[in-house]
Amino acid sequence: MDLKSAIRTIPDYPKPGIMFRDVTTLIGDARAFRVAVDQMVQPWAGAKIDRVAGTEARGFIMGGAVAHQLSVGFTPVRKRGKLPHRTIIEEYELEYGTDAIEIHIDAVNEGDRVLLVDDLIATGGTAEASIKLLQRAGATVVGAAFVIDLPDLGGAKRIEAMGVPVSALVEYEGE
Positions annotated as catalytic residues are: 58, 95
Could you tell me what percentage of the chain is helix, strand and coil, using 3-state DSSP and rounding each to the nearest 5? 35, 35, 30
Asked whether the beta carbons of 150 and 125 are under 8 A apart, the reply is no
Asked whether the beta carbons of 172 and 21 are under 8 A apart, the reply is yes
CA 105 to chain centroid, in Å, comes to 20
Asked whether the beta carbons of 131 and 153 are under 8 A apart, the reply is no
d(CA 67, CA 69): 5
- Name every residue whose Cβ is closer than 8 Å to that of residue 73 and which is 6 or more positions away in sequence: 50, 51, 52, 67
Work out the number of other CB atoms within 10 angstroms of the CB of residue 138.
12
